[in-house]
């Protein structure tokens, strides 16, 4: 996952004989922070699920209300003595054996486990190791984010994510165009469309909230900054917000990858590796 600001040069290339223009879309710094973010996000998610598995339930407020969790991934004994995975959301329970609540371990045995072993780092249950992975890549993500945001302000690119009133009024039209898989072409492709701006802006807001909620779960941080607990309405509320923001970002990444695939995978990947992007003048382009 990453937010990658467009760094399009004002001196865009002249059209080639095949009707394409090659522009310099992303600077080296933007590309580097993009891939560091992607690495950090994957490892943070997997180590975070390892931590969550130590107590696979979420609550709201300052205390754990064990009998009324907002979300719980548990296992129960079936009538035939088999283990059944059960996911409970707002009091409604669903059987999720093999995926959530109960899944197969390294030996192939069905065992009680919030998220399956293939989704966690390490694959076996080890809270201490999961925390070490999580904290290391969390601080790397924060440092990388500071570099990225500093670059946004220094190069005055923050405005790239702020939609105008005219663009906001055009949201329905933009949704229709995306639903028909019709993407901006020509000069329109030199700038983010309104849906991209709103999506990236939401990530810029979600990431600091995710980090602050994570810090609020630390007793040492709470002692130094007690107002954080009050701000989030309790440590359990902070844990829930941290979880929700993480999976909001998972949703963003999924949509991001799908859009990369359907709008021109090779062109988009070359752009994020070399910085150069080909605009097709004769057809719609991402």
Question: How buried is residue 177: exposed, middle or buried, by Cβ count under 10 Å (0-12/13-18/19+)?
Answer: middle
**Residue 181 shares a structural domain with residue 41:** yes
Asked which of 17-21, 161-165, 179-183, 222-226 is least confident by mean pLDDT, the reply is 17-21
Q: What is the pLDDT of residue 199?
A: 92
Identify the band that residue 1 occupies on the pLDDT scale cut at 50, 70 and 90: very low
Q: For residue 42, is it within any domain?
A: yes
Same-domain pairing of 96 and 156: no
pLDDT digits (tens, 9 = 90+) for 81-126: 789 999 999 999 999 999 999 998 888 888 999 999 999 999 999 9
206 and 101 in one domain?
Answer: no
Q: How many domains does the chain have?
A: 2
Q: What is the pLDDT confidence band of residue 286, given thresholds at 50, 70 and 90?
A: very low
Same domain, 35 and 132: yes
Cis peptide before 122 (omega within 30 of 0): yes
Q: Are residues 102 and 189 in the same domain?
A: no
* Number of Cα atoms under 13 Å in the Cβ half of residue 52: 31
Identify the weakest region by mean pLDDT among 106-110, 140-144, 173-177, 238-242. 106-110
Indicate whether 3 belongs to any domain.
no
Claim to verify: residue 110 and residue 248 sit in the same structural domain: no
Domain boundaries, position 98: 57-114
DSSP 84: E
Note whether 235 and 222 are within 8 A (CB). yes
- Residue 13 — very low, low, confident or very high, per pLDDT cuts 50/70/90? low
Give the three-state DSSP class for 81.
coil
**CA–CA separation, 36 vs 259, rounded Å?**
20
Give SS3 for 277.
Answer: strand
Residue 223 lies in a domain: yes
Q: b/e map of 131-143 (b: 16 or more CB within 10 Å)?
A: eebbeebbebbbe
- What number is the average pLDDT over the span 179-193? 78
Contact in structure between 49 and 114 (CB atoms under 8 Å): yes
How does DSSP classify residue 120? Answer: S
Strands 71-77 and 57-58: antiparallel
Length of the chain: 286
Q: Band the pLDDT of 15: cuts 50, 70, 90.
A: low
Residue 79: the pLDDT is: 73
Is it the case that residue 4 has pLDDT exceeding 60? Answer: no
- What would the pLDDT profile of 274-285 be if each residue is shown by its tens digit? 999 888 765 443
Domain co-membership, 28 together with 89: no
Asked whether residue 14 is assigned to any structural domain, the reply reads no
pLDDT on residue 10: 42
Q: 250 with 134, same domain?
A: yes
> Residue 128's pLDDT is what?
96
What mean pLDDT comes out for the span 238-253? 96
User: What percent of the chain stands above pLDDT 70?
Assistant: 91
Q: What is the CA radius of gyration of the chain?
A: 22
Supply the mean pLDDT for the chain.
87
CA dist., res. 283 & res. 263, Å (int): 12
Least confident range from 70-79, 177-186, 214-223: namely 177-186
Domain CATH number, residue 171: 1.20.950.20
Is the domain of 63 the same as that of 49? no
Asked whether residue 26 carries a pLDDT value surpassing 90, the answer given is no
Q: What is the pLDDT of residue 51?
A: 97
Count of beta carbons in the 10 Å neighbourhood of residue 272: 18
- Does residue 41 fall inside a structural domain? yes
Q: What is the pLDDT of residue 28?
A: 94
Q: Say if 95 falls within a structural domain.
A: yes
pLDDT in tens, 246-269: 999 999 999 999 999 998 899 999
In a domain, 215, yes or no: yes
The pLDDT, as a whole number, for residue 18 is: 57
The pTM is what?
0.86
Residue 184 lies in a domain: yes
């Amino acid at each position: 996952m990453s937010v990658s600001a467009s760094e399009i040069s004002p001196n865009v290339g002249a059209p080639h004989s095949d009707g394409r223009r090659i522009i310099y879309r992303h600077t080296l710094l933007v590309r580097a922070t993009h891939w560091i973010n992607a690495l950090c996000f994957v490892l943070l998610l997997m180590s975070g699920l390892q931590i969550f598995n130590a107590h696979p339930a979420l609550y709201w407020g300052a205390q754990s209300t064990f009998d009324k969790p907002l979300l719980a991934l548990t296992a129960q004994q079936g009538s035939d003595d088999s283990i059944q995975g059960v996911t409970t959301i707002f009091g409604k329970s669903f059987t999720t054996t093999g995926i959530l609540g109960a899944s197969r371990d390294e030996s192939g045995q069905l065992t009680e486990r919030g998220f399956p072993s293939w989704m966690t780092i390490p694959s076996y249950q080890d809270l201490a190791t999961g925390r070490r992975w999580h904290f290391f890549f969390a601080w790397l993500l924060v440092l990388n984010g500071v570099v990225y945001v500093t670059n946004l302000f220094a190069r005055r690119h923050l405005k790239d994510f702020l939609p105008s009133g005219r663009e906001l009024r055009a949201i329905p039209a933009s949704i229709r165009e995306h639903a028909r898989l019709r993407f901006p072409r020509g000069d329109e492709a030199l700038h983010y469309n309104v849906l991209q701006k709103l999506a990236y802006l939401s990530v810029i807001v979600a990431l600091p909230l995710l980090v602050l909620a994570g810090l609020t779960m630390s007793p040492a941080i709470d002692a130094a900054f007690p107002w954080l607990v009050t701000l989030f309405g309790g440590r359990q509320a902070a844990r829930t917000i941290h979880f929700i923001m993480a999976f909001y970002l998972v949703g963003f990444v999924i949509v991001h990858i799908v859009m990369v695939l359907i709008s021109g995978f090779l062109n988009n990947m070359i752009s994020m590796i070399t910085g150069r992007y080909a605009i097709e003048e004769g057809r719609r382009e991402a």
